[in-house]
Amino acid sequence: MEAYDLIQQPEGKMSKIIVSDADMALHKRYHQELVFNYSEYPTKDHWSFDLKSVDFKEAMRDWIPANPEEKIFFYVHIPFCEELCYFCTCSKYITKDYSRVSKYLESLHTEINLLDDFLKENKIALNVGTVFFGGGSPTILSETDLEGLVTRIRKVFDWSSVEFFTVESDPRRVDEKRLIFNHEVCGANRISFGMQDLDPEVQRRVNRIQPKSLFSEILTDKVRSYYKEIAFDLLIGQPGQTVETMEKTCDGIIELKPTLVQLSLMAYKPWIAKHQMRMLAEGPLPDFFERKELLAIIHDKLQQAGYVRTGFECYSLPESPMTKAFEAGTAHYGASGHQPGGRVNFLGIGSSSMSNFGQDYYFQNFYDLDAYAKSLEMGQFATFRGMKLSQDDKIRQHATQQIRSYFVLDFENFKENFDINFETYFKNEIELLKSFKNDGLLTFLPEKIVLTEIGRDFVQNIMNVFDVYDPPNASVRDRLEVIQAAKEKQRLVQEKINN
């Protein structure tokens, strides 16, 4: 997941207006062509390319032993898919040649061995609460390879503390038997499906054909009994999406009854993924305002069906672990979306995977498979950039997370966590937030700032107020220049190790 979205503004109208004129005026006033998701702060384009394997090791020595009670989210990246979805900007490779997957698994096992040896040599124990296989598509792995990978990882840390084990699943590549295998043999107890949309025409235009009946066939009673969370991803902004098609998609989702629905706004970034331009072959994408109409339909439909809004882009059933975490104040937003279990401390393996330790460190592995493999062959972790956060970074990161996860800024929370007076520390930001207050997007209470119901749709704008690297007054051109400069540095670093 990238940390920013470019909102395309083509011409084109939808057939039904369900957002009020007043709301549309707000959306027009606060519209930005380049917005940030803040799955991390500062965003990756501001991380240093000087931080390498040695810094990653030092961070693990520093942070993990000092925080033994903090749960770790152990992420495994499988960067392969058999077919290209035109909307996708994930780090992935399209192949039907399984030998490429096998070669990658050799490097992945090398990384696991390197990590295991390092932890044992330094007497470091990982307190892992969540294991997550993402991609790409982890379901490209054969049963034998998935079982072998899980078996090896189980030897790295005490698996008894793992509460959630997710395998992202492509519904076109699994059946009931495979999902049962993933649970009974590998221990998976949570599924995340890239559902994206149920409309046949939308699916055709993005090259991802997966009818609703496919989900009905694989989500049998036995499968549902094995998995404590069944999550659907729903992508907003795809070609062909209209108010009418979204109403039907929501009806289908409600009928299929996933416990969790994760929304995301489609990031249109053809300078990264040229194949996205194929989505424009038959007409424009939904524009910024039309996306808001789609979101309004989703909000209304899902809430009427009993789903609870448990984050900016998250709906879950009352019995879902996510709802319970949201109510308990232990939900968190990060690179893998909204997750239960408190602050997400990532330890990622695989190409492009990201690690973060508390509010102190960020690191990322090489995207390029050759650079990733060569680093490991040299006995080094595949780290190519990272960041050690300043105290100000930590405070602002906390602010973005509180806004995105809970729609509130509690002054006492900042006093307890950072020993600061919120109103003094963020004096300038509070001045900027007054325009949001005047427009009914925020409510100022004596000890907190709370987002209103309509304000929740402006989370990205409100979070941006606290960003000193890409502040609200930065132009789109300025932001794109930062992004492109980071891409060029990344290219040079990968080129250096490959040569």
pLDDT digits 0-9 by tens, 193-239: 999 999 999 999 999 999 999 999 999 999 999 999 999 999 999 99
pLDDT digits 0-9 by tens, 453-499: 888 888 889 999 999 999 998 888 888 888 889 989 988 998 888 88
pLDDT value at residue 457: 81
Which pairs count as long-range contacts for 294-298, CB under 8 Å and 24+ apart, including other chains?
Answer: 294/236, 294/237, 294/241, 294/243, 294/246, 295/236, 295/263, 295/457, 296/18, 296/19, 297/18, 297/243, 297/246, 297/247, 297/250, 298/234, 298/236, 298/246, 298/250, 298/263
> What is the rounded CA–CA span in Å between residue 401 and residue 407?
9
Residues 6+ apart with CB under 8 A from 370: 498
Residue 18 has pLDDT above 60, yes or no: no
Q: How confident is the model at residue 19 (pLDDT cuts 50, 70, 90)?
A: low
Residue 363 has pLDDT above 60, yes or no: yes
pLDDT value at residue 343: 59
Q: Bigger pLDDT: 132 or 21? A: 132
Q: How confident is the model at residue 2 (pLDDT cuts 50, 70, 90)?
A: very low
pLDDT value at residue 403: 93
pLDDT value at residue 339: 76
Q: How confident is the model at residue 12 (pLDDT cuts 50, 70, 90)?
A: very low
The pLDDT mean for the chain works out to: 90
Residue 5 has pLDDT above 60, yes or no: no
Tokens of 237: 């902004």
Q: Is the pTM of this model over 0.75?
A: yes
Mean pLDDT of 375-400: 96
pLDDT value at residue 350: 98
Residue 34 has pLDDT above 70, yes or no: no
Residue 299 has pLDDT above 90, yes or no: yes
pLDDT value at residue 21: 64
Residue 17 has pLDDT above 50, yes or no: no
User: Contact 70/344 with Cβ under 8 angstroms?
Assistant: no
pLDDT value at residue 155: 97
> What is the rounded CA–CA span in Å between residue 409 and residue 419?
15
Q: How confident is the model at residue 333 (pLDDT cuts 50, 70, 90)?
A: confident
> What is the rounded CA–CA span in Å between residue 328 and residue 115?
33
**Strand pairing report for 345-349 and 72-78:** parallel
pLDDT value at residue 479: 84
pLDDT value at residue 216: 97
pLDDT digits 0-9 by tens, 120-171: 999 999 999 999 999 999 999 999 999 999 999 999 999 999 999 999 999 9
pLDDT value at residue 173: 95
User: Contact 478/4 with Cβ under 8 angstroms?
Assistant: no
pLDDT digits 0-9 by tens, 278-297: 999 999 999 877 888 899 99
Residue 7 has pLDDT above 50, yes or no: no
